[in-house]
Amino acid sequence: MGNLRESNHAITKDGELRTDKIGETIDRIDDDKKDRILEDFESFKKYLHNRIKIGESIGLGEEQLAKVAQKVAGYLAENEKPRNSEEKLLQELWKVGDEEQRHKLAHMLVKLAQSS
């Protein structure tokens, strides 16, 4: 039973990163909580900062964190309406960028959140 529950998470107990599970993980966030996270950019950065700290504590490096950020950003761009001007700008940049540019933007988002 423990393996079934663990299979629903993007990061397993062993620290394995499952980027294919990120959309499912975000979908499980309660709508009210998601709204609180995305309602203003400072809340969003704080949420990212906390998640990055968790990732770092289990040994994820900058490249792995950027891969997660890239998956999250892609999911948000496709599935969530921006709730403020900063999120709107990020969504527009995401849409016009190619894969390499999106990956670089994900690295910048990680750095931004780390400095929060």
CB 102 within 8 A of CB 91: no
**pLDDT average, residue stretch 98-109:** 97
CA distance 102 to 93: 8
Query: Closest Cα partner for 68 from 36, 103, 96?
Result: 103
- Give me 21's structure tokens: 């599970």
**pLDDT for res 3:** 39
Domains, the chain, with CATH or none: 31-114 (1.10.760.20)
Q: What is the mean pLDDT of the chain?
A: 86
Contacts for 71 with CB less than 8 Å, ≥ 6 apart? 19, 22, 23
Terminal-residue alpha carbon distance, the chain = 38
Confidence of residue 25 (pLDDT cuts 50, 70, 90): confident
Q: Give pLDDT, residue 4.
A: 40
Tens of pLDDT, residue by residue over 61-86, are 999 999 999 999 999 999 999 999 99
Given a cut of 70, whether residue 8 has pLDDT beyond it is no
